[in-house]
Structure 1
Amino acid sequence: MLPHRLSPITKLGKRCVLLGTLLVLLTPWAGAETPAAPQADVPPPWAYPIDPPGVVAPKDDGTLRHVPDSTLALTLSQVKDGFVSPDWHPGDHPPMPGIVVHGNKPAVMACCYCHRATGTGGPENASLAGLPASYIIQQMADFKSGARVTALPLRAPQKNMMALSKAATAPEVEEAAAYFSSLKLQPIIRVVETDTVPKTEVHGWHLADLKTGEKEPIGQRVIEVPEDLERFVSRDSRVQFIAYVPTGSIQKGKALASTGDGGRTVQCAICHGPDLRGLGPIPGIAGRSPSYLVRQLYDFQHGTRAGISSALMKPTVQNLTTDDMVALAAYAASLAP
């Protein structure tokens, strides 16, 4: 899939590591004692939601579903067909390639079935819009080789990616990468600092507001939910999300991202750019799902994401606590994409 030479990601990654090393050596706190690495733990369940066993899926009674500002009408079976991406708003994006809208039966699901027609994705997976094509291609190669897995192998979204990456052809991957990289990520996440959050349940590998009015302490969690669950189930790419984060976490994350907090981490802007919108082949992280970002930080730290970018990310994540990850993700998600 990739030529046998250093990819742009590898070259820039090495430069970023060198810059980060120089910055550490030149700062006044470089001689301070290195913070101890976090103790062994388990993946935070709120970041890795798993659908409970035994849940009976609702049956299709033939009722047609609609979403605002669309003339399309689809049944529940149609919106759940993994080889047909519901295109509620065709004017929101350029024409979709066949692999993106239909996939390739029997093993390659339609890309937009999970990642939506405009590449917004959801808390359970990745937003692909605006990511560099070379980065997307490399991630598919990492899924295929087994370098990129997940801390909780039972999660269906990651299992699906690992499976379909082995069946997708190089031209299909390149076509999909070109499509998603051509899109602009839309701001669909509203980050809200709070001490209490609505009670939630796991629904489709992400959290959903129970809408009972009951509240509970947020603790050190990110609670990310769609504002309209049924529209999200219908795979409407215009759905907005609320990401509840602990009070004060955005400012804490900004300090970590911009200063490194005395060697606790590496300044994010060195590689991801001053606005965290990406730099060359390095992906932007501004305005993306904080749940997803926490999972990636955790997976990098624990070695379950070990592709080309892992060497670059290791000094960034090795001393982070889960609370630090929450803060960094809250800050990045609060920025304009």
Structure 2
Amino acid sequence: MVFVPPPVAHGADGPPEWAYPMTPPDFKPAPDDGVPRRVPNSSATYTLTQLRDRFIAPVWHPEDHPPLPPVVAQGRKPDVFACGFCHRADGPGGPENSALAGLPAAYIVQQMNDYKSGARRTAVPKRNVDLMIGLAKAATDEEIAAAAAYFSALKPRQHTRVVETDTVPKTFIIANHYASLPSGGKEAIGKRIVEMPEVLEQFMHRDTHARFIAYVPVGSVARGEALVKTGGAGKTLACVTCHGPDLKGVGPIPGIAGRSTNYVVRQLYDIKHGFRAGALAALMKDVVVKLEEEDMLAVAAYLATQAP
């Protein structure tokens, strides 16, 4: 395995590269050695081949959730991958995608329809959103409804610890997210967020109990709190206006408390620049129009500190 350091800088005319990490095209995973993999507090075992199979959603902790519907557990070959493969069995997701647990069912259905119609894209093509677009076009209405009903009934958990700092561990990119270099070392954080699993192997094994650290610049959380609660003196509309006083959502409006920092930044950027243009995203257009990258960073940092 070759560790390639991620870019720190970003172009002023494009999306922030730090929020859209992409696995290097020449990355090669370690071969399956046949040894069963385990995770803490689980009696289950899976091989690396099984853990990399997009038609298998590993169930490490069955006591945490109801039985998975077929589309979540194994999908449908050849084009409908198991929802629980990327988003995990009970929907916590990770920095590279969205948490689904507790989202309104109607919201999930709408997002799938937006992927299908082309209304929801991303500023950086060929990331995992391309998989969602293809999957959405292949999935039936019944499969989408079953997945939406399952994930919406689950209780979301807070799994990200936010740390304000001037320096961060040196990282590499794997599976469209960051991980700390085994060789160690530190570097300046600059104006970015570095979000990574606390234990890389646990997350790569798709353990739903995996936790994350989001390193953010000093002062980000307080600045984000002001934007979220008051709108920052006209910079934006207070998030609590639509997402509720506890930021846990209202009706079809999704909760935003406790979400992945990098995911939030990507959505704010994509909405501002027209890459998300569905019905619900259109409501956000005026909200994000004045937000700069540092504002998005601050909002994401504060939201991640809140219980979902």
TM score, norm. by length of structure 2? 0.95
- Aligned to 1:201, what secondary structure does the other structure show? strand
Measure how far apart 1:57 and its partner are: 2.0
CA distance in 2 between partners of 1:262 and 1:311 (Å): 22
1:261 positional shift: 1.7
> Does residue 223 of structure 1 match 2:186?
no
Aligned partner of 1:193 in structure 2 is 164
For residue 285 of structure 2, give the secondary structure of its aligned residue in structure 1.
helix
Report the counterpart of residue 335 of structure 1 in structure 2. Answer: 306
Amino acid of the structure 2 residue aligned with 1:135 = Y
Partner of 1:90: 62
What are the superposed Cα offsets for residues 80-103 of structure 1, whole Å, 9 maximum, x if unpaired?
111011101111101110111010
Q: Distance in 1 between matches of 2:123 and 2:287?
A: 18
Gaps of 5+ in 2: 1-10
Rounded to whole Å, the distance in 2 between the matches of 1:197 and 1:301 is 28
Shift of the alpha carbon at 1:190? 0.5
SS at match of 1:207: strand
Q: Say if 2:215 is the partner of 1:237.
A: no
Alpha-carbon distance in 2 for matches of 1:285, 1:278? 7
Asked if the contact 1:100/1:112 (under 8 Å) is kept, the reply is yes
Are 1:176 and 2:147 counterparts? yes
CA distance in 2, matches of 1:54, 1:260: 43
Q: How far off is 1:40 after superposition?
A: 6.3
Query: What do residues 226-264 of structure 1 show as CA deviations (whole Å, max 9, x unaligned)?
Result: 011111111001001001111110000010111112211
Q: Structure 2: how far apart are the matches of 1:120 and 1:167?
A: 24
Counterpart CA distance in 2 for 1:139 and 1:121 is 16
Indicate which of 30, 44, 52 corresponds to 1:58: 30
The SS at the match of 2:18 is coil
Deviations 1:136-187 (A, max 9, x none): 00000000000000001121x1011000000000010000000000001111
- How many residue pairs get aligned? The number is 298
Aligned match of 1:166 in 126, 137, 147?
A: 137
- Aligned partners of 1:69, 1:308: CA distance in 2, in Å? 42
Q: Does 1:74 align with 2:64?
A: no
1:296 and 2:267 aligned: yes
Q: Deviations over 1:270-290 (max 9, x none)?
A: 100011111111000000101
Equivalent in the alignment of 1:5: none
The separation in 1 between residues aligned to 2:241 and 2:292, in whole angstroms, is 21
Q: Does 1:43 align with 2:23?
A: no
Amino acid at match of 1:296: Q
Matched residue, 1:110: 82
Instruction: State the TM-score, normalized to the length of structure 1.
Output: 0.87
Tell me, yes or no, if structure 1 residue 145 matches structure 2 residue 103. no
1:265 aligns with 2:261: no
User: 1:250 aligned to 2:228?
Assistant: no
| 1:92–1:288 distance in 2 versus 1, CA, 3 Å | same
Aligned partners of 2:160, 2:88: CA distance in 1, in Å? 15
Q: Is the 8 A contact 1:116 1:237 kept in 2?
A: yes
Any runs of at least 4 consecutive aligned residues in structure 1 with deviations exceeding 3 A, and if so which? none
Contact kept in structure 2, 1:64 and 1:75, CA below 8 Å: yes
After superposition, residues 10-25 of structure 1 pair within 5 angstroms as: none
For 1:122 and 1:152, how far apart are their aligned partners in 2?
18
Secondary structure in structure 2 of the residue aligned to 1:100: helix
Is the CA contact (8 Å cut-off) linking 1:131 and 1:283 kept in structure 2?
yes
Q: CA RMSD in A?
A: 1.0
Q: Give structure 1 stretches of 5+ with no counterpart.
A: 1-38
Q: CA deviation at 1:56?
A: 1.6
- Deviation digits for residues 174-206 of structure 1, max 9, x if unmatched? 000000000011111101111110011111000
Q: Distance in 2 between matches of 1:276 and 1:212?
A: 39
In 2: Cα distance, 1:176 partner to 1:312 partner: 25
Report the AA paired with residue 80 of structure 1. Answer: R
For the residue of structure 2 that corresponds to 1:197, the secondary structure is strand
Residues 198 and 211 in structure 1, CA contact (< 8 A), matched pair in contact too = no
